[in-house]
Amino acid sequence: MLNRVIQQFRLQLQSTNEVEDSHSSTVYKCTLSNGENVFLKIPYTKLKYQRELEAYEILKGRVSIPEMLDYWSGDEECPGAFLLSELKGKPLTLEASPTIAFQIGALQAEMHTIRPPAGRVLTGIKNEFKNWSAFVENQFYSFAEDVRDILDARLYNQAIKKFEKMKGQLPSPDGPSFVHMDFRPANIIVDGHKVSGIIDFESVRFGSTEMDFTKLYRDFLRYDPNLYNAYREGYKSIRPLIDLEMVLPFYRFTDAFNSIGWCKRRSIEKNALFLEENIASLKSFLL
């Protein structure tokens, strides 16, 4: 399939290397014959392709993202593919400064200011905001079918009861906003003292901002109060920030639970460490 996509885009390449840590697409970093780097992205499904295509159209000129150089709508065997420019830099790490954290907050806030486009019908990106509670519930119980096979019955039933209790304590949703749904360090590119932009949009929705803070907090913000505070200030420089202390416990809990189900679907063997981490997190929330 890679060769077919390369032929489709008529690329002359020096080298091709598959990118790690891409969970919903196959991504290759390619060096062209002129030495320029580009990325080939092949989503796993047609829906993910359509979401990504619409996201690039909506975000262009409004949020820092790669340039879409070309795209192919695919055929019976390939769901589609994208040819993307390179954002200079590397994925975010814990070594980042508070200055970077401030920029990340501002960048995410800029994304959250984007509302559903008036008068345009989207076939990939759904607006879940009006039924946000049902969307969160459907996600949880969809993964619950997989989680049931991994957790012991006592722990599983505890998790179900806690979800129902915490769900009823949530504030009114904040939106409708463009939410990334996978806003984590691997999808935030940093070049020195500057954030280059965001990548990967195959999971995006229009919905409540409250879900979009979870993975960044889990993998980055919770380790250093200085980063957390700088991030909050950056976000608030663009738009008001919801009460994270009120919503993060619920979404961190559901993220751990759903991630257990995700590991079951995507191979327990390949994701053994991630599975162990999330079972430990879930137990800590239930104790």
CATH number at residue 72: 3.30.200.20
Q: Are residues 277 and 201 in the same domain?
A: yes
Looking at the DSSP bridge assignments, the partners of residue 90 are 190
Q: Are residues 212 and 114 in the same domain?
A: yes
Report how many domains make up the chain.
Answer: 2
pLDDT for 22: 67
Total length of the chain: 287
Q: Residue 87 carries which DSSP code?
A: P
- For 284, the 3-state DSSP assignment is helix
Q: Are residues 245 and 128 in the same domain?
A: yes
- For 71, the 3-state DSSP assignment is strand
* 25 CB-contact burial (10 Å; exposed 0-12 / middle 13-18 / buried 19+): buried
CATH number at residue 276: 3.90.1200.10
pLDDT in tens, the chain (287 residues): 888 888 889 988 888 888 876 666 899 999 998 989 999 999 989 999 999 999 999 999 999 999 999 999 988 888 999 999 999 999 999 999 999 999 999 999 999 999 999 888 899 999 999 999 999 999 999 999 999 999 999 999 999 999 999 998 999 999 999 999 999 999 999 999 999 999 999 999 999 999 999 999 999 999 999 999 999 999 999 999 999 999 999 999 999 999 999 999 888 888 899 999 999 999 999 88
Q: Are residues 135 and 189 in the same domain?
A: yes
Residue 69 near residue 38 (C-beta atoms within 8 A)? yes
- The span from the CA of 55 to the CA of 210, in Å, is 19
Q: Are residues 219 and 171 in the same domain?
A: yes
Domain boundary residue, one of 63, 86, 109: 86
Select from 67, 92, 60 the least CA-distant residue to 193.
92
- The span from the CA of 58 to the CA of 15, in Å, is 31
Domain boundary residue, one of 47, 67, 86: 86
Structural domain span for residue 231: 91-286
237 φ/ψ angles, rounded to the nearest 5 degrees: -70, -15
Select from 133, 193, 208 the least CA-distant residue to 163.
133
pTM of the model: 0.92
- Which tokens sit at 156? 């599983």
- For 146, the 3-state DSSP assignment is helix
Q: Are residues 119 and 235 in the same domain?
A: yes
The identity of residue 195, as a single letter, is: V
Q: Are residues 263 and 149 in the same domain?
A: yes
